[in-house]
Amino acid sequence: MSKANIVFLNNKAMAELGAADMSAVINDVERVYVLNNEGDVIAPGKCVMRWGKTVEDENTLGRINAMPGYIGGEYDMAGIKWIGSGPQNYKKGLPRASVTIILNDPDTKLPLCVADGTEVSTMRTGASGGVAIKYLAKSDAKIMTICGAGAQAPTQLEAALIGRPSIDTVYVYDIRPENAERFAKATMEKYPHIKATAVSDIEAAVRESDIIDCVTLASEPFIKGEWLKKGTLVMNMADYEVDNECVKRSSKVVVDYWENVKHRMISTVALMWKDGLFKDEDLHAELGEIVKGAKAPRENDEEIIYFNAVGAGIMDIAVTARCYKNALKDGKGITLPYWE
């Protein structure tokens, strides 16, 4: 009987193998959008194990999600993302999210790799924002407001600067002002050409902004559609962060995966759909349709565009598959006998 090995890749190995390369991750995410649109994926959806009974409970007590899938194309890999979210972990000096990814051979179905996917998850979420900005933001966008100065903020900004190098002003808003101050300072140290400012007046920041990127745990909207200027891209990247008027005023409503958005049922457009205020036919496109060229991206500088992303495990599988193949080529990671 043949033997089978399994490769273990910890967080350091994954970073060395390309998980921390935002340009490469953006390329992975774009390819996943296209492959998904072409039907070259298997994405059964997300299984959510929640603590508590309400959204408020979940945002306090946390959850663990299982996200299986298969991604075709040049990746040709099956796997599962297993992600724990502990909102109170910061009190213990621990990261809010911890991710383990298992890759399986799509032929034999045997596991090939167990990898830390914590950075993968953060990077691919940032990359999703970067891809959205590439296709949906004004070509000369200069002012960006980031709402939520947590783990997602640095990768959202990094990806945004790849999508729109013209950005030179960043406003940072957080319910914990000290977090906003810390992130603004770190931003200017990393990107000297950017003026980053922590703000308490979110309305004033939004009224100036070309891009508004929300990565928070908000359970009530704090961005109002009446504040949006013409040409704004509103990015609802996490929870219930923007009001209905942001969607109503938008010339185009774009999402990453519409069925996933409705299943997650936590973002503004999903809740509007539930209440009959937004219909399937009102959706302009999934982002993959735009990347592939089947639907129009931004067409002028007057359009207000709303984008909502919930993500999918196939993104993490694609990034991890690339890193795993690099590990085999470079001889990195810890190889263990799985079947003897």
Q: What is the pLDDT along the chain (340 residues), one digit of tens a residue?
A: 478 999 999 999 999 999 999 999 999 999 999 999 999 999 997 888 888 877 667 778 888 999 999 999 999 999 999 999 898 888 898 878 899 999 999 999 999 999 999 999 999 999 999 999 999 999 999 999 999 999 899 999 999 999 999 999 999 999 999 999 999 999 999 999 999 999 999 999 999 999 999 999 898 999 999 999 999 999 999 899 999 999 999 999 999 999 989 988 999 999 999 999 999 999 999 999 999 999 999 999 999 999 999 989 999 999 999 999 999 999 999 999 998 8
Q: How confident is the model over 168-199, as pLDDT tens digits?
A: 999 999 999 999 999 999 999 999 999 999 99
Task: Provide the terminal-to-terminal Cα distance of the chain, rounded to the nearest Å.
Answer: 8
Architecture of domain 4-121+313-339: 2-Layer Sandwich (3.30)
Q: Which long-range contacts (CB under 8 A, 24 or more apart) does 200-203 make?
A: 200/173, 202/145, 202/147, 202/173, 203/227
Q: What is the rounded distance in angstroms from the CA atom of residue 193 to the CA atom of residue 177? A: 23
**Among the listed residues 249, 278, 246, the one whose alpha carbon sits nearest the alpha carbon of residue 261:** 278
Would you say the C-alpha torsion 239, 209, 186, 198 has a positive or negative sign?
negative
Residue 258's pLDDT is what?
95
Would you say the C-alpha torsion 49, 51, 57, 62 has a positive or negative sign?
negative
**Among the listed residues 17, 72, 64, the one whose alpha carbon sits nearest the alpha carbon of residue 40:** 72
Residue 153's pLDDT is what?
96
Residue 269: burial class (beta carbons within 10 Å; 0-12, 13-18, 19+): buried
Question: For the sheet containing 233-236, what is the strand order?
Answer: 195-198, 169-173, 143-147, 211-214, 233-236, 305-308, 252-255, 285-286
Residue 102's pLDDT is what?
98
* Prediction pTM value: 0.91
Structural domain spans, the chain: 4-121+313-339, 137-308
DSSP string, 158-195: HHHHHH-TT--EEEEE-SSHHHHHHHHHHHHHH-TT-E
Residue 264's pLDDT is what?
85
- CATH H-level superfamily of 137-308: NAD(P)-binding Rossmann-like Domain (3.40.50.720)
Residue 55's pLDDT is what?
64
DSSP string, 115-129: EE-HHHHHHHHHHHH
Provide the token pair at 283. 């959706």
**Among the listed residues 97, 101, 98, 161, the one whose alpha carbon sits nearest the alpha carbon of residue 129:** 161
Q: What is the rounded distance in angstroms from the CA atom of residue 191 to the CA atom of residue 280? A: 41
**Among the listed residues 234, 132, 145, 130, the one whose alpha carbon sits nearest the alpha carbon of residue 184:** 145
Residues with catalytic roles: 81
Neighbours of 303 (CB within 10 A): 17
